[in-house]
Chain A
Amino acid sequence: MAELRRILHVEDDPSIQAVTKLALEAVGGYEVLSCSSGAQALEEVEAFAPDFILLDVMMPGMDGPQTLLRLRERIDLERIPVTFMTAKVQPSEIEHLRKLGARDVIVKPFDPMQLAEQIRSIWLSGRY
């Protein structure tokens, strides 16, 4: 089984994009590709070949769930866990997102010191 190395992060807010990239790279030691929109992610996903995809839910244009559906058309997501990040924490919404094919949901605001560890455990949860 491959090791978790490359994470594709889709987030329209540049600040969060930067903090997340920093948290994952500096704390977790992963390689992160930040995309500012779903469209950009679709363009770059094949070239980047991520092990893990982190999707913001609310984005202008194509939102998180839409991006997930389009990604699935383009690449095989069987081996690549997709996890959403959202400020909305209603249990029903989390359930909804899981049904769309998300491995898990990370609630904003996240703790940047814990984020890498959180993603690792999600990655590992899919191993069994």
Chain B
Amino acid sequence: MESPQQSTTPMPSTAQPRELSRLAALLRYEILDTPEDSAFDDFTALAAQMCDTPIALISLVDDRRQWFKSRVGLDVSETSREISFCTYTIAGDEIFEVPDTLQDPRFCNNPLVLGDPQIRFYAGTPLTSPDGYNLGTLCVIDRQPRRLSAEQRETLERLGRQVIRLFEQHLLAHRHAEQAALQQAILDSASSAVLVTRPDGVVTSVNPTAERLLGYSEQALVGHPLTAALFRPEALQRRALLLSSELQMPVEADFSVLTAPLHRGRRDMSEWRLRHQNGNEVPVLLGVTAIHDEQEHLRGYLVNAYDLAYQEQLQLRLQQIAAQVPGMLFQFHWRADGPACFPYVSEGVEQIYGLSPAQLASSFAPIVGRVHGPDRSALLLSIRQAARELTPWHSEHRVEHPHKGLIWVEARATPLQQVDGSVLWHGFVTDITARKAEQLELDKQQEMNRRLLEALSEAVIACDAEGNLTLFNEKAKQWHGADAESGSPEQWATRYQLFRADGMTPLQPEEIPLRRALHGEHVINHEMVLLSQGAPRYVLSNADPLFSSDGHPLGAVVVMHDITERKRIERLQREFISTVSHELRTPLTSITGALALICSNVMGEVPESMLELLDIAQQNSQRLGALIDDLLDMEKLHAGKMRFDMLEQPLQPQLELALRSNGSYAERHGVQLHLGACPAVSVTVDAMRLQQVLSNLLSNAAKFSPAGERVDLSARVSDGKVRVSVRDQGPGISDEFRARVFQKFAQADSSDSRQQGGTGLGLAISKELIEHMGGQIGFESEPGQGACFWFELPAQGQAKESP
């Protein structure tokens, strides 16, 4: 066998790909550096004995050394690969034998030859794995040269094959142990309780979760029939009956209740209440799996129990919360092509749809049946749309409730797309019948208000607190020829062509009634003009600020009443009075003149008997003349046609003149006029109009004074104004009359005018005149104590106040 060529065989390389795969194969057995094992030692002992050598080794060669799994006659456990004999053995396929190391050039210098263990002979058979890798050797060594016999070589080869088998077993056992550990870990850590039984239902093992869930230790359960230990007989019986009819086969009320469905290919999950060691019941969901061995023999069952207590708790909590919610909560499962159902509906469904949750567990139809017919299609469409677009869903529809009759409900839900394309909704439904009724009532009220506003002959315009116009009723649109437009209150006057009552002066923004009301003012009967399609429209405006019930400003509203027609009639009346007065004056001039001439005896002596009548005629014609004068003055004042030639002039001469002018009239009433104190001030007045006022006051005072009394005219300055007073000793002004003193045709007693010869216009005209001249008029009086009429005008020329 020995050949010179062998001596030239190079040392096998460790870096080749095959060598790498060999190393991987070796590592897979996980045997390197494992403790001594008697199973292997038997083989080395046997090899040494059979080959009659002092040393036998099972050597495994890795990348840098040979390690001995088992050794006989050697102390070291490993040697370096460089000096290893086995490296040569694993390079070949058969026994590698070195009869005399000192004669072999590959080994003659090997330290193992020259030193301990002084190897002179080596024979090794490769240990070849089933996939063809030489992992190491089974070798025998002697300290003297020799050769193995043919039997010994064969024995060595056989033993080598046995060693490999042992490796394989070792590996398999290791794998099994791992598998078992993993299974145990899974069982131990499983969140569900797992109980393993024999085919007859006797418990063989339980996991810690099961111990915890059921309160029994493993020892307490193992060896006992599962159903007898944990299940209530009634429940088993009920279930057995149910299954018997479902599966069309007799099912006993024992462990077969759990396994029967499996025999029909069904993997049921069923809910049970198991008996806890402490007597309580534990709600669980059970799943049963059959365990078969490789030969498909039934070895037992794996029973999985999921704890439902937490779920039940959640369910209870949800139920309690849902009970507090008005209306119903729901979870709705919608499939475009399949049945829709309610996985969850709270008890409130009874109040809303008059249905029970159970009625809806598998179908959506009962609800649709309750929805008021005309609302159904819109409801379904809205659901479809929301499901398609996955947008929050909102619906208000009517329900024909079996007890409540027709009610309004509002539903809201959010759709969630599921992986299978179906849509899961979570939402709620509430009864809004009351709110709806209020809303309808409110709508009706608003409609009523709107109609009312439109029916008004007044224009109504409102704005909000920011001044945005919010309401323009039909009349307002008609008048302005437009609807409310946006624009600040500053623009209203020009946009809507607003003018003062004279019809010419544009209204300043701060004069506009609505704007004034917006600033908190109550505007009453403000007269103004608006140009409506080119024609002036006279209106009386009443405006008020608007406040919410808690006092918040909401804006303002103005109501405009058209007085154009009234103004026209008033103007016609005034023109008529004016015309008539003018026409009356001419004949009156003749009458008065003629009477005056007659009464003066110019035309000859008038008989005594006629004198009295003529006197009456003369006085009344004069009175008629005065009335006409007053009417004409009034008309001029109203029409704004009276001119005032305002001139600054001293007051005193005016008072003296008035005294002189009215002296004779007073004398006729037996009354004396007296001028009292008068400060040296000037007033800016139209002298003629001032005289007219003084005449009115003085003649009134004289008229109402008892004969023999005195009328005092005086003036005093106060606060930059001069007050001219006319005080009489007459009967004074009665309380009833006070408010009407300055009104037109006002007389304390209708009989007065005839007795006293007044027109009833004097004070009204005086008031207008004084106010036109920038003053004020008034009176003070106590009935029975005389009266004091006064007017005030701005005083000029002297700031010094009267004492």
A residues near B, CB below 8 A? 13, 15-16, 18-20, 22-23, 26-27, 87, 90-92, 108-113
Contact = CB atoms under 8 A, between A and B. Distances in A.
A109 B593 contact: yes
Interface of B: 582, 585-594, 596-597, 600, 602-603, 625, 643, 645, 688
Contacts of B593: 16, 19-20, 22-23, 109-112
A107 to B, nearest CB: 10
Given A18-B594, A22-B597, A26-B602, 20 more contacts: A13-B587, A15-B586, A19-B589, A19-B593, A22-B593, A26-B597, A26-B603, A27-B600, A87-B582, A87-B589, A91-B643, A91-B645, A108-B585, A110-B593, A111-B593, A112-B593, A112-B596, A112-B597, A113-B597, A113-B602
B643 A109 contact: no
Given A26-B603, A91-B688, A18 B590 contact: yes
B695 to A, nearest CB: 15
Interface residues of chain A: helix, strand, loop or mixed (majority)? helix
Contact of B589 (A90, A92, A110, A113): A110
> Counting chain A CB atoms within 10 Å of each CB, which of B593, B596, B645 scores highest?
B593
9 contacts: A16-B589, A19-B590, A22-B593, A26-B597, A87-B586, A91-B643, A109-B589, A109-B625, A113-B602
B585 A87 contact: yes
A51 to B, nearest CB: 22
Contacts of A13: 586-587, 590
A102 B591 CA distance: 27
A23 B597 contact: yes
Nearest to B622: A109
A93 to B, nearest CB: 10
A92 B590 CA distance: 26
A15 B625 contact: no
A27 B587 CA distance: 21
A30 B596 CA distance: 18
B597 A15 contact: no
Contacts of A15: 586-587, 589-591, 594
Nearest to A11: B586
Contacts, number: 66
A122 B625 CA distance: 25
Contacts of B600: 27, 112-113
Contacts of A90: 643
B597 A27 contact: yes
A13 B585 CA distance: 11
A113 B594 CA distance: 10
> Counting chain A CB atoms within 10 Å of each CB, which of B582, B588, B589, B600 scores highest?
B589
B597 A109 contact: no
Contacts of A91: 643, 645, 688
Contacts of B591: 15
Contacts of B586: 13, 15-16, 87, 108
Nearest to B581: A87
A109 B603 CA distance: 20
Contact of A109 (B582, B592, B645): B592
Nearest to A88: B582
A100 to B, nearest CB: 19
Contacts of B688: 91
A95 to B, nearest CB: 10
Contacts of A112: 592-594, 596-597, 600
Nearest to A85: B589
A125 B587 CA distance: 30
Contacts of A108: 585-586, 589
Nearest to B645: A91
Nearest to A26: B602
A91 B594 CA distance: 28
A113 B597 CA distance: 7
B596 A113 contact: yes
Contacts of A16: 586, 589-590, 593
Contacts of A18: 590, 594
B23 to A, nearest CB: 137
> Counting chain A CB atoms within 10 Å of each CB, which of B587, B597, B600 scores highest?
B597
A14 B749 CA distance: 39
> Counting chain B CB atoms within 10 Å of each CB, which of A15, A19, A112 scores highest?
A112
B643 A19 contact: no
Nearest to A108: B589
Nearest to A90: B643
Nearest to B602: A26
Contacts of A20: 593
Nearest to A89: B688
Contacts of A27: 597, 600, 602
Contacts of B589: 15-16, 19, 87, 108-110
A118 to B, nearest CB: 13
A109 B593 CA distance: 8
B541 to A, nearest CB: 34
A109 B651 CA distance: 29
Nearest to B582: A87
A48 to B, nearest CB: 23
Contacts of B587: 13, 15
B772 to A, nearest CB: 15
> Counting chain A CB atoms within 10 Å of each CB, which of B591, B594, B596, B602 scores highest?
B596
A111 B597 contact: no
Nearest to B636: A90
A101 B590 CA distance: 27
Contacts of A111: 593, 596
B637 to A, nearest CB: 13
Pairs of residues from A and B, 5 with the lowest C-beta to C-beta distance, nearest first: A15-B590, A19-B593, A109-B589, A112-B593, A26-B602
A66 B456 CA distance: 55
A26 B593 CA distance: 13
B588 A109 contact: yes
Nearest to A16: B590
Contacts of B596: 111-113
B597 A19 contact: yes
A109 B584 CA distance: 11
Nearest to B595: A112
A23 B591 CA distance: 13
Nearest to A13: B586
Contacts of B585: 87, 108-109
A70 B596 CA distance: 34
Contacts of A87: 582, 585-586, 589
A96 B643 CA distance: 15
Contacts of A19: 589-590, 593-594, 597
Nearest to B589: A109
B643 A92 contact: yes
A84 to B, nearest CB: 14
A124 B688 CA distance: 25
A20 B589 CA distance: 10
A116 B231 CA distance: 146
Contacts of B582: 87
A58 B600 CA distance: 29
Contacts of B645: 91
Contacts of B625: 109
A91 B644 CA distance: 9
A15 B591 CA distance: 8
A80 to B, nearest CB: 24
A92 B636 CA distance: 15
Contacts of B592: 109, 112
A68 to B, nearest CB: 20
Nearest to B588: A109
Nearest to A25: B602
A110 B597 CA distance: 12
Contacts of A92: 643
B56 to A, nearest CB: 160
A69 B597 CA distance: 33
B668 to A, nearest CB: 16
